[in-house]
Structure 1
Amino acid sequence: MKIHKLITKSDDLAALVSRLAQADFVAVDTEFMRENTYWPELCLLQIASTEEAAAIDPKAEGLDMGPLLALLVDNHDVLKVFHAGGQDLEIIHNLTGKVPVPLFDTQIAAMALGFGEQIGYSNLVESMLGHSLDKGARFTDWSRRPLDKRQLDYAIADVTHLSVIFPKLVQRLKKTGRGAWLNEEMERLADPSSFAFEPEDAWKRLKLPSRNPAVLGRLRAIAAWRETEARGKNLPRGRIIKDDTLGELASHPPKTQDDLGKVRGLSSGWRTNDIGARLMAAVAGAKPLDPDELPNRDAKRPGLTKDAALVSDLLKLLLKIRAKDVGVAAKLISRSDDLEALAAGVRGDLPILSGWRFEQFGRDALDLVEGRLGFATENGKLKMSRLETGPVQEPDTPASA
């Protein structure tokens, strides 16, 4: 494989992209910094086909990244391969407003092939290729220039190994017939709405036990204000105000700006500075949530009775057994809240009651909940025991909750 250590010239990058556009797939990775910023700062982008690999320096003066970004988000003929690519996709979405398509995540594929839940890249490389990666450069400052040889070797190794691993994973998926299992997960990753985050929705990421409409209305207003401040200043949210301080302000709103000096987590300067005034304006403009805006506890994720909680625990045990039998990471089959919903009586709009998840787990889960399946021990080993035979509701016509 031909290796281009570092590309800093627009002509060289355009030529590389022209060649990569003829490939069936490219492996992609990024190095970035975000400890001191709101937006992740792209410091290096690595890309490889089966023929060549390169690191591209987006901080190089005058470098036109346009052709490379167009390859990633507009060329639908080339598959883009990532490993645990959530943050890489976020960076590309921030730069282009789009998500690379089509895409493939090797961590998710590894989950379908029994490598465990969220296997790290170095562990996957060692398991599939027998190589041990040098992790020494992982936590270096990627924003500083010049980058040294060790950093570049580390960065490019990520995509060169990924370009070898991907075809091997595809072969295993074809052999096991599990390729179709990943379609839903890849579609979810490629959904741009996952990265288009509105400040007005920031409060939904915070945990506040109150159900008081006025308190939650203030939390919504203050969280949106903080998001706007953080974006405008390009600072981490916590550098503006920490989460626990937001909760305190929502629950016990200050009456005057002078009261901000008494709030734990805020300095005395907030009594008189401009940011304190903007915070008070956000508090003053807050409106209570309407009833239909309150977090819904009873629709798809109802609360559990004590008996239903026990059933949920049995479903989690069943999931462990089935995941082990099938050789798939349990997390790929079902989330805990889906199990709790099934235990509470929900039968519609649950992923485990349709498609491959129903065949591999959902059918047994439904039988367990509805009394057709139980646990038994034989020679000291746990096994499933069929209690009675009866018709099972097919996944395309689920019963009502």
Structure 2
Amino acid sequence: MDATETTIDRAPAKAPPPLRPADFAVKPSLIGLTREDMAEALKEKGIPEKQVRMRVSQIWHWLYIRGVSDFDAMTNVAKDMREMLKKHFTIARPEIVEEQVSNDGTRKWLLRFPPRGAGRPVEVETVYIPEEGRGTLCISSQVGCSLTCSFCHTGTQKLVRNLTAEEILSQLLLARDRLGDFPDRDTPQGAIIPAEGRKITNIVMMGMGEPLYNFEPVKTALLIASDGDGLSLSKRRITLSTSGVVPEIYRTGEEIGVMLAISLHAVRDDLRDMLVPINKKYPLKDLIEACRAYPGLSNARRITFEYVMLKDVNDSLEDAKGLIQLLKGIPAKINLIPFNPWPGTNYQCSDWATIEKFADFINAAGYASPIRTPRGRDILAACGQLKSESERMRKTERLAFEAMMIANHGEDD
């Protein structure tokens, strides 16, 4: 869709709030805890051992089936118990700093999470993409990214920190709030569309960051998202995308069991070293071996290989032939992604005729090779375009932060 034909419903961006001492005393969240960890947290606050299992079950139901974000909404929990929970814990959603809605249905949220420990607030972007018969939520796993892929807008932002399991999962909860997607409750005030069936059917770990550089929190969040007594997303509808962190690929299949996607983008080490620099550490030979060994790999559970189409870079017929040879024998689908230009990039998208010729060659070799429809380009919500401003800190805010830390901890900290 031409950007001139698209409108944007844009909430005004809010300036980051000034840092205060209270910002460093954020209550721990119950969101993102395993049942075992939630039980331990409740026991530490004095809940009798014989009640813990029941209380965990109640809270789990309210968090992940009913989708509440206020302890007072847990109507079958005794008032004194709710007061204890409010005193010691939080289940609040992140702040929506900005919300953009494109005419093609794509929605992007810039979300702000409160400080962790002696840190400061951070921001990430989350994208919802509605399609016929399905709706996909693209979730971030880190604030920024350390991989510096040369064609990726997110890669121009420095890594700030990993997200916690709570922060990863909260993106899904907030999106379901905004889309009216929780059952057995009224459409939340301010929801974008009415509640009428599940809007989010799939989630993809393809937002900001490299998920396998934040393995444990990602694992915890995805296991909760796929828990049959809660959010209940099928693991076949959850896809984790990696740029090629080889040591963690097998663990992903063995311990999480979700679908795997590989950000490939080149079939020669010299070119991939430039486009996806992690290739220097884990070259194509090692990456492909890890894919062949992925647990559960079959024609029914294929690996998706993502291939961004860059004009005169990786879009030749020789590249297509190399791709077929590289993936020979691997149950695979190849997603061809028209490059989404972003301000400051030196790359261009391949001509449409070139992309179609590339796809035809791959299809003729027996591989499904859909051409991904560009979505949300006008609001920079398309593949490789997510970027927040969390790595930037205004001078006055930074000086206030440093002064507070010296006052609280001393100059040697």
TM-score normalised according to structure 1 size: 0.22
Larger radius of gyration: 1
Higher helix share: 1
